[in-house]
Amino acid sequence: MKTIATLIAAAFLLALAGCNTMAGIGKDVQKAGSAVENAAKK
């Protein structure tokens, strides 16, 4: 029973880390898009 709980906890932590990583990538892409848009306006 302990090993199942450990596996579930590990899977949860990996999923949480994955979401954080995707959020970071999204912010970086958004900043890059804003820079291109501002350059195009000039």
pLDDT at residue 20, as a whole number: 67
What is the reported pTM?
0.47
2-36 residue pLDDT tens: 888 888 888 887 776 777 676 777 777 788 888 77
How many helices and strands (H and E) does the chain possess? 1, 0
Could you count the other beta carbons within 10 Å of the beta carbon of residue 36? Answer: 10
